Structure formats: structure tokens, C-alpha cells
Amino acid sequence: MRFWRKNGHRVLVVGIFQSLGAGRAVLQNLHRARFRRAAAIHASAKGRQRVEEHGISVIAGSTAASVLGLALGAFIFWQRGMLADYRPVGLVLPFAAFALAGAITGWILIQLLREHVDSESFARFTNTILPNETVVLAEVGASESSRVLAILRGVEAEAPVTFGFYPPPPFSIESTARPLSHELSSSQRLVEKAASLAHAIAVSRTAKPRGPSFLHRLLEIENALEWTNMSLTMSAEAHHAFTLSAEWLLDNAYLIREQVADLRKSLPQKYYGKLPLIASGPGAGLPRVYQVAAEMVTETDGALEPEIIRRFLSAFQAITPLDIGELWALPLMLRLQLLECLRTLAIQVDQQQRESEEADFWANRLIAAARHSSPRLLKIMEELVERYPEPTPHFASELVAHLYDDEGALPVVSGWLERSLRSPLLEVMQQEHRHQAVQQTALTNAINSCRRLAQIQWRELFQSTSWADSELAADPAGVYARMDFETRDRCRSAVEEIARWSNCSEQKTIDHALALAKAAQDEVARHVGYYLIDAGRPVLEQATGARVSLAERSRRWIRAHATSAYFGSLLLLMAALVAAPLLFVAGLVPWVTLGLLGLLLLLPASELAVLVANYFVTSLLPPQVLPKMSFEKEGIPDDCRTLVVVPMLLTTPSAIQNQLGRLEIHYLGNTDPNLRFSLLSDFSDAPRQSMPEDAEYIDIVARGIEELNRRHGAGHFFLFHRDRKWSESEQRWIGWERKRGKLEQLNQFLIGEPTPELEGFLHAGDRAQLEGIRFVITLDADTQLLRDTARRMIETLAHPLNQARLSSDGRHVVRGYTVIQPSVSASLPSARATWFSRIFADPRGIDPYTHAVSDVYQ
């Protein structure tokens, strides 16, 4: 809709009435509704035509302006006392000049300011109007066409025949997509086409992009699709007949808009620069993957399926492997190609709709002339031949379909069409019907493929067709194939980056990484990821001759000297913030006052310096996600058996039952044969070592654990409990060292250290099921363990690059981690439970751990 407003294009809406009174009434209603570009052509019984328009005519405007000019001249002569100096005959010439100037000025102003129907619109109907007819015309914006149609049809005395004539589109209607094959290729032919294309394309790494950018292409596609949608919508409001293709476009307009909007968000601004370009041929300067997508869409007639895409890519890469970035760009290129096909089809459908409506208009004129004014039939026919010297098959088919039952006009029209098309009309109509069927099939395929592409699991498709993934799976440590998708994707992105920085291809970069891993003796260094995303990356960059960018070298220097860089920047910022205001008053106040002022500025300057430093650190240094294994399909392996433990205090029976219920929820959200769940309990602080309620509380929790084991299978739930110890500092009987002491004693129990304090530590559960526990997940009593969260944490610590390596004396961790801390946030109900949480909770709730220990300090 915005295109008509922006470019000044207007729609011509026409109503044909058989009575003069009805036409005049409609014209008056249009002017009351403030449609100024409206007029009526009246034809008398003898065929004389008269145009009626409301508003000031050119003659009336010129006459009024002439009178005003004459009055202005008389006033000037009177004001200056010049009337007495001239004879009446001598005043004629000056007054005539004033009158003529006024008339010319009025004519110019009326021509510029008056809104009227264009002369071209009148010319369209001067030779087609019949005696005793009134044609009402209105030129309006696209958004007003429905109102005009309602006014034309609002006359009770007579139902007019209405038509709409639309401006040409404000863009090129040439197809930007390759023509579809209109037939589905067999599997063998598809493979042959892919192999032939791989042989034919020569890639250049130094070629410059040619043609408009992808975003510019997308804008052109969007403009064309919006134009056709608005045009077809107006045809629907005018109650014109539709083809199935037009109905499909209107019904799926929302889907097409979603595809365009999503593609605009997904297409980077500088996409050409990162993709290999075609070196020569018709597609020179275009990305190779764009050509691959075009061939795939063309050969399948737009009917894309995951298996077809996989087969085509496999055949192509058997000759020439695609880069990693090209494979990731393929979904975008396929969608862009489908949208370009939809643009071409939509323009064709809109043109056919316009031809159908033109055929409807001319059929109406021919039938009316044949029935009511036979002498006018030949003149209308002459006008039709003049306007359509080369009629299209679609226009011919629609015109003949409208005239099929009229014996007066059909013979004349049929003879003209057969001479112009040089074919029998029956054959022309049959070919046109076949063309519409093919067009409908292509449109259906393109729209359904847009839906299908949104449902394809591109991760799985990428992994099954990526040669880089297959090469990296030959990891000497056998770790790469068992990592999760995000970690493998980081490795592939590192391959892309190193290849871009060096003169090596991606394949040679992978070969270098595998060679280094095979030559390594250390277990960690034998993993190919060590050279891609870990400490071995500088070695790989040196082997490939990569020229690391200055920004990346700066980030690495900051990470290597994190303490010096962070605190040094804080000191510099604080010094600048304190010194700046002091310089303004240095010569105005004593040195003692200046020193006191500096001390007062230290606190606010330090706060501001910390905020600024943290902002720049988090902006310049992207977060580094820890690599992970993938246990989603096979489950947690036996060598990663894990115990989930919840420290708690036995305070009341209801609190104990509540915690038992939470423990069961933890299990239901993280069911795995190698996960164990336990409560690690203490009695509350007391003045005596034993209290009367102790036996009841320990009995409740022990029976609860036994019930959970009975309900979900033995060996899943456990209870660890300690008796109170005297605390000199607290002067009470408490659990030794509280939570920290409980966890320390639990670790001693799991590794089998024989200590007297651990006698009777396990109160419920099978001790044999705790053999081989490698990891411990500790939860607070009010913490929720969401679904599969336990597995994700285990996958992280199980990765070789994260496993802790101790120093020779066993007292220091030289690489890896012994403890990891995931992000913890408050649930939505608890975020509003207290005034404290309401004040400090962010949209996700309170996140005390990551706010207290942020990435800046790590």
C-alpha cells in the first residue's frame, strides 16, 4: 500500500450506469465523501458525450481571476490618483492588461491546484461508452478503493457494473530467479546435475562481489510481493473472479511476510565477503552456495525435501567440498531462492489478474454493444484491436470465456484472436489451462517448501553433510564425535577463522590440527579441540601461518594479564576522574583544601571507574563457554556416576516431608541410571547433644527415603546424617562446621577414608550403589534442579579440556576445574516473595552467584 502513496500512483475505479440520474447521484456522493478526482461521462441517445465534474472549472476560475485583476488595477489607479489623468478611452488598455494578467494567473492556479481526473482516463472510455450510459470515474489511492466501490454500489435504483484499473508496478517485472523446470528430477538426474555443477563452478577467493547485495535483493522481493498482495486484495474487494494461484497468494500472504521478515533478520550486512565467489561464467561474482541453492530449487521445481537436499549436497561435495560457512548459509540461500521464485510467480499471477479484469471490461462493452447498439460494435472492436495489437494467450482465453454465450460478438473476436495468435482458439485455451496448472503447482511447491524449510532440523542435516565434521571425527583422542553440538560448532568456527587468517584452506587447517594431535604425547593434547579452542591454538596458528588480527591479539593479551589489565585500568580511571576536577580549582584553593577534596572524590571516582572498567571488559571480551560432552542419547556413562546431595536441617515434620517431595522432583526431572539422590541432614542447634524430637525426625526422613526407593527402584535415594558436636565458639551442640563440614565428611566417605566420625554416616540406602561416584552436585534446600540440568553439568566436567590436572605435589590445580558453578536465578513466584527480591530481582529473578562472581573477576 505504501508504494502507491509514495509514488503518486492511483487506482481508477469505474462504474457504468444505465440512467443519468443514478450516475449524477453517485458523483455527488463521491464529492460529499471528499473524493475530488471524480467525474462522470454522460452519453445521450444520439451518442453525444458530456463530461461533468464538480468544483471550479477552468473558465469560471479564469473569469473570476480576470475580474479580480480588473478590480486590482482600478484600486491601484485610484490609490495613486491616476484616474483623473487619463481619459476613459486611455484607461481601456491598462485595465485590459490587468484583466488579462488576472485571467492567465487564474488559469495557471486552477491547473495547478484543481484535482481532476486525468485526460488519459477519459480517453479510455470515450470510444467505449454507449448511448444512454453514464460512466462515473474516480481516481483514488489504493487504500480508498473499497470506500469508492461501496459508494458506487450504494445506489438502490440501479446496480452498476464496476471495474478497477491499476497503475503499472513501480519496479522491474523481469524475473530475478532461474526458470523452474516444471518437472521433478529423478534421483539419478539430481545427482548428475549436482556433480555437473561442481565440475562447472570455479571459485575465486579474491573475486569481488557482483550485483546487488542480498539485503537489496530481499528489499526488491518484498516490494514486489507487497505490491501484488495489495493489488490482489483490491481485486477481491471489487468482487473479481480469481484463479487458484491468486487465492493461494492471498491465503498465504502472512507466511510470505514471516519468511521475508525472518530472512531480513538472519542475513548479515556483509555476507558476500565471507563466502567463496564464482570466478567466471554467468554467475561470476556471486557466492557459490547461492548458485548451488538456485540449481537445487530449479531442478526440484521448488519441491524441497530434507532427503533431496542431503542427496544433492553429497553428490556435489563428492567433487568439490563446500566450506563450513557455505553449508550454514545454504538454508538462507534456499529461502532467498524460494522467495525470488515467489516474486516471479506473484508478478505473473498479478499480470494475469489484470488481464482477466481487462478482458471482463472489454467483454462487457462488446456484449452491451451487440445487444443494445449494434453500430457501436465495430468501433469498440477497433478500439480493442488498437489497444491490444498482440493479445496474450491468457487475455484471449478470458475474453473468449466471457463471450462464450454471445453470438453477436464472439465470431468477430474469435477471428481477430486466431489471426493475432496464429493458432486455433481451442488449442490456445488448452495451452493456457496447462500453463495455469503448472503455475499453480510451482506456487504450491514454493509455499510448502517455505513451511518445510522452517521445520527441517538443520543441525542434523549439517552434520550428515559436513565433510569438516567427518574429518574432525578422526580425533586421535576419540573425543570430538562424543561432544555436544555447540562445542563441535566452536571447533568448526575456529577452523573457519584460522583458515581466513592464513593462506590455508579449511581442509588443510583440519589436517594440520589432526597432525599435531597425533604427534602429541599428553592425553589432553591428543584431543583436536586442544588446538582449536584451547591452549594449543597458537601452535596451530603458527603451523598454518595465520596472521592473527590486532583485536584478537589484544583480547588474548588482556586475558593473559587479567589482573594487571583490570586493576591498572581501574587506577588510571580513578586518577583521571579525581585529577580532572582538581585541575580546575588548582590555583584557586590552598593545597590542604585540594588534598581534602581529592580524598572526598576517591569514593565516587572508584565507583564510577569500576562501572566503566566492567562495561569495557564485558564488551571487549566475549564469554567463553566451557566445552561439553554429549550424553543425551547414551545417557551418563558409568565412569561419570554422580551423587546429587541436598544439605538440610531436620527442624519440623512438615519441613522434612517438603524436602522429601523436592528430592523426588529432582529425580523425576533428571532420571538416569547413573544419578543418585541423597539428603545430607543435621539436627538443628541445641543446648544438649540429644533432644526428645531427634528420634522422631530421623525416623520420618529415613522412612521417607525408603519409600522413595520402593517407589522408584532401590539404589536411587540415600540419607546421610551426623550427630551434634560441641562447639566452643557457639557454646552449643551443632553439626560440625555446619554445611562445609557436612560436604567435607561426605567427600571423605565417598573416597573411603576410614575415620571414626563417619561411623553410621549412611542412615538409609545401599552402600554398594555408591561405588564409583565421580562427581557430586550440591543443591541448597530451596534450589530447583531443572530437567536434564544434572546431565549438562556432568557433560561439562567430563570433557577432557575441563578435567582438573594437579601439580606434582598435588596441592594446586594447574589446568581444568574441580568445582563449577552454574547460573542460579530465582523463580518467578519467589522473585516477588519479599521486598528485598522485588527491589533487587532482574527480569529473570535474583542471580546472587553470577552477580557476586561475574565474568569480569574470573
Q: Is residue 547 domain-resident?
A: no
Rounded Cα distance, 741 and 743, in Å: 5
Contact 53, 117 (CB under 8 A): yes
Q: 441 Cβ partners below 8 Å, 6+ apart?
A: 182, 301
Find the largest Cα–Cα distance for the chain.
Answer: 140
Which residue stretches of the chain have pLDDT < 70? Answer: 1-9, 54-61, 77-78, 80-91, 106-116, 156-157, 170-185, 211, 269-273, 824-858
Residues 301 and 326 in one domain: yes
Rounded Cα distance, 840 and 852, in Å: 13
Closest by alpha carbon to 205, among 467, 466, 502, 552?
502
Residues 344 and 363 in one domain: no
Rounded Cα distance, 644 and 663, in Å: 9
Rounded Cα distance, 540 and 464, in Å: 26
Amino acid occupying residue 697: Y
pLDDT of residue 619: 82
Q: Is residue 768 domain-resident?
A: yes
Residues 17 and 152 in one domain: yes
pLDDT of residue 621: 83
CATH of the domain at 710: 3.90.550
Contact 772, 750 (CB under 8 A): no
Q: 377 Cβ partners below 8 Å, 6+ apart?
A: 366, 369, 370, 408, 409, 412
Contact 678, 812 (CB under 8 A): no
Residues 300 and 356 in one domain: no
Q: Is residue 181 domain-resident?
A: no
pLDDT of residue 280: 82
Contact 226, 3 (CB under 8 A): yes
The mean pLDDT value of the chain amounts to: 84
Rounded Cα distance, 623 and 856, in Å: 10
Contact 445, 303 (CB under 8 A): yes
**Which among 386, 411, 435 is the end of a domain?**
435
Task: Kindly list the strands in the beta sheet with 642-650, ordered across the sheet, starting from the edge strand earlier in the chain.
Answer: 762-764, 717-721, 675-683, 642-650, 775-778
Amino acid occupying residue 743: L
Q: Is residue 544 domain-resident?
A: no
Residue 503: strand, helix, or coil: coil
Residues 328 and 356 in one domain: no
Q: Determine the Cα angle at 60 with ends 59 and 63, to 5°.
A: 85
Rounded Cα distance, 751 and 637, in Å: 19
Residues 343 and 358 in one domain: no
- The domain tally of the chain equals 6
Give the CA count within 13 Å in the CB-facing half-sphere of 126: 8
Q: Is residue 487 domain-resident?
A: no
Please provide residue 525's backbone torsions phi and psi, each rounded to the nearest 5 degrees. -70, -15
Residues 297 and 424 in one domain: no
Q: Is residue 706 domain-resident?
A: yes
Residues 139 and 192 in one domain: no
**Range of 585's domain?**
560-620
Residue 490: strand, helix, or coil: helix
Residues 768 and 827 in one domain: no
Cα-based torsion angle of the residue sequence 377, 380, 381, 387 in order, rounded to the nearest 10 degrees: -170
**Which among 350, 371, 390 is the end of a domain?**
350
Rounded Cα distance, 844 and 832, in Å: 11
Q: Is residue 384 domain-resident?
A: yes
Closest by alpha carbon to 763, among 712, 711, 694?
694
Rounded Cα distance, 194 and 313, in Å: 7
pLDDT of residue 707: 93
Radius of gyration of the chain (CA): 42
Contact 804, 813 (CB under 8 A): yes
Q: Reduced to 3 DSSP states, what percent helix, strand and coil does the chain have, rounded to the nearest 5?
A: 60, 10, 30
Contact 709, 715 (CB under 8 A): yes
Residues 339 and 381 in one domain: no
Please provide residue 210's backbone torsions phi and psi, each rounded to the nearest 5 degrees. -120, 145
Amino acid occupying residue 85: D
User: Between β-strands 717-721 and 762-764, what pairing exists: parallel, antiparallel or unpaired?
Assistant: antiparallel
Inter-CA distances, 313 with 285, 293, 318, 387, Å: 21, 10, 8, 50
Residue 311: exposure state from Cβ atoms within 10 A (0-12, 13-18, ≥19): middle
Strand ranges for 326-459 from DSSP E:
none
Amino acid occupying residue 162: T
Amino acid occupying residue 655: A
**Which among 296, 329, 350 is the end of a domain?**
350
Residues 343 and 396 in one domain: no
Q: Is residue 530 domain-resident?
A: no
Contact 375, 299 (CB under 8 A): no
pLDDT of residue 5: 39
Residues 834 and 856 in one domain: yes
Inter-CA distances, 312 with 304, 306, 463, Å: 11, 10, 15
